[in-house]
């Protein structure tokens, strides 16, 4: 948690904002909440406090979603954040935990190999052998710690966790208690405990939630960026950051090409052209903002190392093709239709059309 | 409002009337308050904002057969197209006031400017309405000054609707002790302040009960039943367009609000004055909140009379028509500026605990759709909605809180089930009814008028009529019959023409008028007031509701036949959308020819078909892209079917190329598209002909089509045929290739007769087929060759018997592959006079020259009968 950490935790990076908010916040706070729900929403969405402190927006998106998310946590229901990869689910959950409990580290990372111990508790075997079963020999999981301390726990990628392990959460969420049969005890959650889970809704099939578990969550779906401008902004900012970290020269007029990539991605993703006049088929790939970023970064690398340093249609065409055509048969037809029906006719897209035709053929 | 409460503007003393009750049209809170006020003050008469011509119809509101939502429909007697609607829902304050008056035996009168004046202006008067203005006016959100928005802003709300809900609608019954007129007082004061600030003319907000819409609701039930369809889109357009052609009542004409509002308010003041004399001030006035200050303001009779002088007047008829919640909703067009009639009806109708009842309703709906929703979900949703409202600082959860809660708890964050909730509950499927004793719908009058002018009498006896579309009356008759068919009024049925001409200018109909058709007309009355408008609205709704691509193409064709250019854009949009999402190339290929046919037919009738051409070209592009993959791995039946599609697309592309080129005229761009389209089609055919995975019959067909279009080099066909028939190819595949290349009624026989090399190849292949394989391919070959005309078969036999031609015999001069090397001068000469007749006399034209030009075509016409050329010339 020192300052030279590669990536400081939210509660450290934005400590001054949290302090200022807590000072300015005179609304009722739920038990063990550091801030009132209103202040939590402000922390995420940004704003200016009466004392002039500027709260930077952590999440750019519909206010409604954040309000529903915060309110959910205040009603002691667990929160499930859904969304395709790259829609800031983890980011939102980290900041929510930081703002509510002042600690975003009570985290369980869901993987196919996540064991039950990661959600319930494990044993310190040396202690267990030496002194027999006791609370001292028990190693609490982040969830158990959150329960006993009244904090916010986080579970990342909930749907990647095997179904039987997922169901451990049912008792925790409905009875708010964690039985410890080995000791004949239980750990009861104190007020203030809640849980934020994130799941990728493209992967629903991996380990879909049982309806018993699903019922314990209020669901908030985080959408992809609403407007082209917002997405272009996100992509170019991120590309800039990545570019600097891998020492790519900044392209002078790459913004047009970025806009083009974002437009193509958005149109195919939404199944409709930007002018709203032509419907399109959507390919099987996600075409998320994150993928647009990697296409542009890849294009920049091509331009820098093999081209004249200027991002050109040819540099991104292959990347786009790779992102769009995931299923060689169906997606290819969709891509060609898009090329012929939309790209070919569009003003100023001749170069791009030609470049795409070249890599597609 | 008890005018006495607002000092200075009070025309009467305390305790007495008139009580001016300012309301928000279709506001359940207002309706509740109006009822409470009427109960408390028990006026001797109720005056309501609405057309006074409807006074005679008020009694019908108490009829058992009447159930809201309904609308008053006013239309100009001899021009039903100019019309306006005053919709009422069960929760409309006006409706509540009418019912109260009827229940208590008190006269209810409408006091707004008579529809005779508002509808009197001719539609061609400039009004400068553009679409966005209308939309906004219709949505009840004015562009310039929205008084409610100003009030809401003052109260710290960003959404005027929410402010109104919180401040007025959600007040509930309130403490019984409070004066039932208090809210009206406060509202009146607020409106006065607003009018002082913005001037009396700045008002856009008051949506008014008047909303001209072209169609009514009863038949909607059917459209509504189709899941996922929303007739609202089409009706929005219908309404918008209608608003342009019809003259709207003042609220809807933003350009003239000041003058119009003043006139209306002057008229209302006069009426109020008269009623006060008659009923000794014991009257209640129910009107839009905006008008309250004007009605209580001091003004002389003379000044009001002066304002009303010289207003144009028209003869109008009024009737009740059934209405729907959907039409009340914003989404349903002009509506009355509310987007959640179902929610409002719920608020108005539920005795207590509206939120709990609402969530239970939602849960019930979702359960019916097989969504697992338990009572626990309902509890959690109510909790979340309550907490959200508290966090947002609202007195009670409103629609947005409940919707957010439903989404997060019951719909797992998804908007798809939510759309269902929105469609079924928030808007709702409620359908009004009017008693049979209500006056006839204007559609019937319009039809009667048309029948008279077109001299087409409805007769029970069946008879056939032949229409010559070149004559104006006949064309109009045809249009009428086609439009009626679109509306489901099957008075006429298309019949085979007795004269069996193939010309496109002739149509035959079998007419029979059955009594039940009158019922159908009454039902169709919901679509509009004239046959034209109703058919347009119906076609648009049908297009939106259609599921199969072919249905939409058929509809497009019918729209052209019925000449409904206004419906075409919607149909085309739907068509383009369906085509874009359709993955079945077969369906696309099927749709294309019909589309191109309509395109050409539209040309014959002189209808603008630019949009159609665009859609057809788009469709063709999609077929081009999808065809090669679709041709892989097919069985024999599938291949035969697809071969048919390839043929159809080929013809369509040919025609489409012509049409677009012709239409593009001078502009090179469009012409280029035409040829470009053909070029790309040829490229697709090239791909098909060369790909091994494509079934033989399609490959053969592709080669043949390329050959016919002159796209193959001189001996390329022979080379390709050689490849297809080489010993490595399975005999069945090769036979299929031959079938594709020369089979069917496509004149393939002639090709073999004239091109010795091709015949030689076939002959050589056939002799090389092994005995066992021969029995396999024999049926296919028989099918191929038995379709030829006897003459051709004989000649072929003759040629084969004579043995393969020596290569040297074939003259170099052969112009086109597949035809005789030389022109048969004698036969060509025989055709020339006819050609001259067809082309019109060409004075001074060199006959020899003409003959040169005609050479190819003559050969074509001669050799390849029925291949399109003859037809086009005819």
ipTM here: 0.77
* pLDDT for the residue B665: 39
Q: Are residues A208 and A308 in the same domain?
A: no
Looking at the complex, report in whole angstroms how far the Cα of residue B26 sits from the nearest Cα belonging to chain A. 27
- C-alpha gyration radius of chain B: 36
CB neighbours of residue A361 within 10 Å? 6
The proportion of chain B whose per-residue pLDDT surpasses 70, expressed as a percent, equals 73
Q: What band does B381 get if pLDDT is binned at 50, 70 and 90?
A: very high
Q: Name the 3-class secondary structure at A341.
A: helix
Calpha distance B214→B237 (Å, rounded): 10
CB contact at 8 A, B477 and B456: yes
Q: Are residues A246 and A354 in the same domain?
A: yes
Final residue of a structural domain among A221, A252, A273: A221
Residue A261 in any domain: the answer is yes
Please tell me if residue B859 touches chain A, with a CB cutoff of 8 Å: no
Give per-residue pLDDT as tens, B451-493. Answer: 888 888 877 777 888 888 778 888 888 888 888 888 888 888 8
Q: Are residues A212 and A271 in the same domain?
A: no
Q: Give me the residue from A38, A75, A341 closest to B621, CB to CB.
A: A341
Residue A236 in any domain: the answer is yes
Residue A1 in any domain: the answer is no
For A302-320, give the DSSP string.
HHHHHS-SS--HHHHHHHH
- Among A284, A331, A268, A338, which Cα is nearest to B618's? A338
* pLDDT for the residue B406: 92
Q: From first to last of the 361 residues of chain A, give the pLDDT tens digit.
A: 445 677 788 898 889 999 999 999 888 899 899 999 999 999 998 888 888 888 888 887 788 899 999 999 988 889 999 888 777 788 899 999 999 999 999 999 998 889 999 999 999 999 999 998 898 899 999 999 999 999 999 999 998 899 899 999 999 998 999 999 999 999 999 999 999 999 987 765 578 888 888 888 999 998 888 788 888 877 877 777 666 666 666 555 577 888 888 889 988 888 888 877 777 888 888 888 878 888 888 888 888 888 777 788 888 888 888 888 888 888 888 888 888 888 888 888 888 888 888 887 6
- Among A102, A117, A96, A81, which Cα is nearest to A19's? A102
Taking contacts as CB-CB distances below 8 angstroms, the residues of chain A near B391 are 37-38, 41, 67, 70-71, 74
- Among B73, B334, B74, which Cα is nearest to B207's? B334
Q: Which B residues in the span 583-602 are in contact with A, Cβ-Cβ below 8 Å?
A: 583
Kind plus residue range of the DSSP H or E element containing B322? strand B316-322
Crossing angle (nearest 10°) for helices A350-360 and A330-338: 160
Looking at the complex, report in whole angstroms how far the Cα of residue B621 sits from the nearest Cα belonging to chain A. 7
Q: Are residues A163 and A236 in the same domain?
A: no
Contact B408 A214 (CB under 8 A): no
* pLDDT for the residue B241: 33
* pLDDT for the residue B289: 80
> What's A147's domain CATH number?
3.40.50.300
CB neighbours of residue A293 within 10 Å? 22
Please tell me if residue B621 touches chain A, with a CB cutoff of 8 Å: yes
Handedness of CA A328, A334, A337, A339 (dihedral sign): negative
Q: What band does B411 get if pLDDT is binned at 50, 70 and 90?
A: confident
Average pLDDT, chain B: 73
Give the residue on A whose Cα is nearest the Cα of B400. Answer: A64
Q: Are residues A99 and A245 in the same domain?
A: no
Residue A31 in any domain: the answer is yes
Q: Count of H helices and E strands in chain B? A: 38, 10
Taking contacts as CB-CB distances below 8 angstroms, the residues of chain B near A198 are none
Q: Give me the residue from B391, B580, B626 closest to A71, CB to CB.
A: B391
Calpha distance B650→B656 (Å, rounded): 10
Final residue of a structural domain among A221, A240, A275: A221
Q: Name the 3-class secondary structure at A121.
A: strand
Looking at the complex, report in whole angstroms how far the Cα of residue A236 sits from the nearest Cα belonging to chain B. 30
Looking at the complex, report in whole angstroms how far the Cα of residue A36 sits from the nearest Cα belonging to chain B. 10
Give the residue on B whose Cα is nearest the Cα of A210. Answer: B372
Residue A280 in any domain: the answer is yes
Range among A123-127, B334-338, B559-563, B820-824 rated most confident: A123-127
CB pairs under 8 A between A and B: 86
Q: What band does B494 get if pLDDT is binned at 50, 70 and 90?
A: confident
Taking contacts as CB-CB distances below 8 angstroms, the residues of chain B near A336 are 625
Give per-residue pLDDT as tens, B719-738. Answer: 787 777 777 777 778 888 88
- The domain of A239 spans 228-360
Residue B230: left if φ>0, alpha if ψ -120 to 50, beta else—which one?
A: beta
CA distance to A235, B230, B601, B614, B873, per residue, from B607 (Å) = 47, 28, 9, 15, 22
> Model-level pTM?
0.64
Regarding predicted confidence, which is higher, B807 or B777?
Answer: B777
Cα end-to-end distance, chain A, whole Å: 52
Residue A5 in any domain: the answer is no
The whole-number average pLDDT for the span B501-506 is: 62
B696 pLDDT more than 60:
yes
Q: Are residues A36 and A172 in the same domain?
A: yes
Final residue of a structural domain among A221, A250, A270: A221
Q: Are residues A167 and A294 in the same domain?
A: no
Interface with chain A: mutation pick from B387, B397, B616, highest number of A CBs within 10 Å: B387
- Among B687, B783, B796, B787, which Cα is nearest to B736's? B783
Kind plus residue range of the DSSP H or E element containing B75? strand B70-76
Taking contacts as CB-CB distances below 8 angstroms, the residues of chain B near A341 are 580, 618, 621-622
Per CB distance under 8 Å, which residues of A are interface residues toward B? Answer: 37-38, 41, 64, 67-68, 70-72, 74-75, 77, 80, 82, 211, 214-215, 218-221, 271, 278-281, 329-330, 332-333, 336-337, 340-341
Q: Are residues A189 and A70 in the same domain?
A: yes
Kind plus residue range of the DSSP H or E element containing B22? strand B19-23
* pLDDT for the residue A40: 93
- Among A290, A289, A319, A288, which Cα is nearest to A302's? A319
Q: Are residues A341 and A247 in the same domain?
A: yes
Residue A80 in any domain: the answer is yes
The whole-number average pLDDT for the span B234-261 is: 40
Contact B621 A279 (CB under 8 A): no
Looking at the complex, report in whole angstroms how far the Cα of residue B9 sits from the nearest Cα belonging to chain A. 43
Tracing tokens 């030279």 back to the chain, one arrives at: A4
Burial class (CB in 10 A: 0-12, 13-18, 19+), B352: exposed
Give per-residue pLDDT as tens, B235-246. Answer: 333 333 333 333
* pLDDT for the residue A238: 72
Kind plus residue range of the DSSP H or E element containing A200? strand A194-200
CB contact at 8 A, B541 and B510: no
Q: How many domains does chain A have?
A: 2
Residue A2 in any domain: the answer is no
B2 pLDDT more than 90:
no
Looking at the complex, report in whole angstroms how far the Cα of residue B391 sits from the nearest Cα belonging to chain A. 7
The proportion of chain B whose per-residue pLDDT surpasses 90, expressed as a percent, equals 4
Q: Are residues A233 and A216 in the same domain?
A: no
Q: Are residues A87 and A205 in the same domain?
A: yes
Helix, strand, coil percent values for chain A (each to nearest 5)? 50, 15, 40
- Among B708, B713, B738, B656, which Cα is nearest to B859's? B708
Taking contacts as CB-CB distances below 8 angstroms, the residues of chain A near B625 are 333, 336-337, 340
Range among A172-186, A343-357, B163-177, B272-286 rated most confident: A172-186
Q: Are residues A215 and A240 in the same domain?
A: no
């Amino acid at each position: 948690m020192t300052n030279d950490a590669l990536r400081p935790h939210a509660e450290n990076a934005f400590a001054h904002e949290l302090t200022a908010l807590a000072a300015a916040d005179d609304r009722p706070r739920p038990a063990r909440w550091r801030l009132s729900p209103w202040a939590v929403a402000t922390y995420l969405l940004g704003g200016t406090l009466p004392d002039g402190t500027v709260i930077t927006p952590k999440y750019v998106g519909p206010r409604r979603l954040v309000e529903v998310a915060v309110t959910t946590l205040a009603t002691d229901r667990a929160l499930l954040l859904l969304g395709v990869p790259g829609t800031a689910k983890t980011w939102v959950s980290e900041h929510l935990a930081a703002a509510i409990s002042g600690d975003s580290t009570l985290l369980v990372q869901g993987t196919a190999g996540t064991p039950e111990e990661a959600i319930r508790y494990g044993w310190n075997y040396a202690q267990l052998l030496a002194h027999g079963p006791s609370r001292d020999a028990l190693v609490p999981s982040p969830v158990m710690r959150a329960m006993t301390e009244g904090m916010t726990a986080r579970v990342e990628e909930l749907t990647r966790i095997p179904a039987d392990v997922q169901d451990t959460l049912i008792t925790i969420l409905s009875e708010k208690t964690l039985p410890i049969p080995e000791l004949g005890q239980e750990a009861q959650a104190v007020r203030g405990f809640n849980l934020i889970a994130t799941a990728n809704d493209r992967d629903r099939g991996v380990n879909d939630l049982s309806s018993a578990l699903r019922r314990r969550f209020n669901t908030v779906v985080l959408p992809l960026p609403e407007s082209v401008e917002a997405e272009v902004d996100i992509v170019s900012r991120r590309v800039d950051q990545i570019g600097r970290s891998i020492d790519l020269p900044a392209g002078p007029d790459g913004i047009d090409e970025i806009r083009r990539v974002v437009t193509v991605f958005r149109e195919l993703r939404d199944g409709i052209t930007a002018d709203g006049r032509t419907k399109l088929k959507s390919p099987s790939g996600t075409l998320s903002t994150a993928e647009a970023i990697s296409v542009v970064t890849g294009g920049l690398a091509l331009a820098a190392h093999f081209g004249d340093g200027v991002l050109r249609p040819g540099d991104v065409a292959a990347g786009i093709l790779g992102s769009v055509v995931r299923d060689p048969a169906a997606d290819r037809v969709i891509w060609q239709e898009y090329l012929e029906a939309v790209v070919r006719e569009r003003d100023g897209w001749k170069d791009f059309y030609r470049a795409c035709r070249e890599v597609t053929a | 409002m008890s005018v006495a409460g607002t000092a200075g503007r009070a025309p009467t003393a305390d305790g007495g009337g008139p009580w001016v009750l300012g309301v928000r049209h279709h506001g359940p809170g207002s309706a509740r308050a109006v009822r409470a006020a009427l109960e408390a003050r028990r006026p001797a008469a109720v005056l309501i904002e609405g057309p006074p011509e409807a006074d005679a119809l008020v009694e019908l509101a108490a009829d058992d057969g009447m159930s809201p939502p309904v609308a008053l429909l006013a239309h100009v007697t001899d021009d039903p197209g100019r019309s306006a609607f005053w919709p009422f829902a069960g929760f409309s304050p006006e409706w509540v006031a009418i019912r109260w008056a009827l229940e208590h035996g008190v006269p209810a009168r409408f006091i707004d400017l008579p529809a005779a004046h508002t509808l009197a202006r001719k539609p061609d008067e400039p009004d400068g309405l553009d679409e966005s203005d209308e939309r906004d006016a219709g949505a009840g959100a004015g562009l310039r000054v929205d008084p409610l928005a100003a009030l809401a802003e003052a109260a710290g709300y960003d959404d005027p609707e929410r402010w109104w809900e919180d401040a007025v609608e959600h007040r509930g019954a309130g403490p019984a002790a409070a004066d039932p007129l208090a809210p009206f007082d406060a509202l009146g004061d607020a409106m006065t302040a607003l009018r002082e600030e913005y001037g009396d003319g700045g008002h856009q907000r008051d949506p008014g009960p008047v909303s001209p819409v072209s169609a009514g609701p009863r038949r909607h039930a059917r459209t509504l039943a189709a899941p996922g369809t929303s007739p609202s889109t089409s009706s929005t357009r219908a309404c918008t367009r209608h608003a342009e052609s019809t003259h709207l009542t003042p609220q809807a004409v933003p350009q003239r609000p000041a003058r119009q509002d003043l006139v209306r308010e002057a008229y209302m003041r006069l009426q109020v004055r008269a009623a006060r004399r008659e009923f000794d001030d014991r009257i209640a006035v129910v009107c839009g909140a905006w008008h309250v200050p004007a009605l209580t303001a001091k003004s002389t009779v003379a000044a009001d009379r002066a304002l009303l002088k010289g207003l144009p007047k028209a003869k109008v008829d009024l009737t009740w028509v059934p209405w729907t919640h959907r039409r009340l909703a914003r989404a349903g067009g002009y509506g009355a500026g509310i987007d959640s009639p179902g929610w409002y009806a719920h608020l108005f109708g539920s005795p207590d605990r509206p939120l709990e009842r609402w969530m239970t309703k939602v849960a019930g709906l979702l359960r019916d759709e097989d969504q697992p929703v338990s009572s626990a979900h309902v509890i959690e949703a109510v909790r979340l909605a309550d907490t959200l409202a508290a966090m947002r600082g609202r007195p009670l959860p409103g629609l947005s809180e409940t919707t957010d809660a439903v989404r997060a708890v019951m719909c797992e964050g998804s908007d798809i089930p939510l759309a269902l909730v929105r469609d079924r509950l928030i808007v709702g499927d409620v359908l009004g009814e009017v008693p049979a004793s209500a006056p006839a719908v204007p559609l019937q009058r319009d039809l009667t008028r048309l029948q008279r002018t077109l001299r087409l009498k409805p007769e029970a006896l069946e008879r056939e009529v032949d229409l010559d579309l070149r004559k104006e009356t006949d064309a109009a008759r045809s249009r009428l019959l086609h439009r009626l068919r679109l509306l489901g009024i099957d008075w006429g049925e298309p019949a085979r023409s007795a004269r069996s001409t193939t010309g496109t200018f002739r149509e035959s109909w079998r007419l029979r008028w059955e009594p039940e058709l009158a019922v159908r007309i009454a039902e169709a009355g919901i679509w509009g007031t004239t046959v034209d408008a109703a058919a347009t609205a119906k076609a648009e709704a049908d297009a939106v509701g259609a599921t199969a691509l072919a249905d939409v193409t058929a509809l497009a064709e019918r729209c052209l036949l019925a000449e409904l250019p206004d419906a075409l854009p919607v149909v085309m949009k739907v068509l383009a959308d369906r085509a874009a999402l359709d993955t079945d190339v077969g369906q696309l290929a099927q749709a294309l020819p019909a589309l191109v046919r309509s395109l050409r037919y539209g040309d014959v009738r002189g209808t603008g078909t630019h949009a159609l051409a665009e859609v057809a070209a788009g469709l063709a592009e999609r077929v081009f892209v999808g065809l090669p993959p679709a041709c892989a791995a097919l069985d024999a039946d599938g291949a035969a079917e697809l071969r048919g599609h390839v043929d159809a697309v080929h013809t369509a592309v040919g025609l489409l190329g012509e049409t677009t080129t012709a239409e593009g005229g001078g502009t090179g761009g469009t012409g280029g598209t035409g040829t470009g389209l053909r070029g790309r089609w040829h490229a697709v055919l090239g791909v098909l002909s060369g790909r091994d995975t494509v079934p033989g019959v399609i490959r053969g067909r592709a080669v043949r089509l390329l050959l016919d279009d002159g796209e193959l080099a001189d001996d390329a066909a022979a080379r390709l045929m050689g490849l297809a028939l080489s010993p490595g190819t399975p005999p069945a595949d090769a036979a299929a290739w031959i079938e594709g290349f020369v089979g069917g009624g496509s004149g393939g026989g002639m090709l073999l007769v004239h091109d010795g090399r091709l015949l030689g190849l076939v002959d050589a292949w056939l002799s090389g087929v092994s005995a066992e394989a021969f029995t396999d391919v024999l049926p296919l070959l028989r099918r191929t060759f038995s379709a030829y005309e006897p003459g051709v078969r004989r000649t072929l036999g003759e040629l084969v018997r004579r043995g393969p031609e020596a290569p040297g015999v074939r003259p170099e001069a052969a112009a086109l592959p597949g035809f005789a090397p030389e022109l048969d001068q004698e036969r060509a000469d025989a055709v020339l006079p006819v050609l001259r007749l067809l082309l019109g006399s060409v004075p001074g034209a060199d006959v020899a020259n003409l003959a040169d030009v005609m050479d190819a075509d003559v050969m074509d016409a001669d050799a390849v009968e029925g291949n399109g050329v003859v037809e086009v010339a005819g």
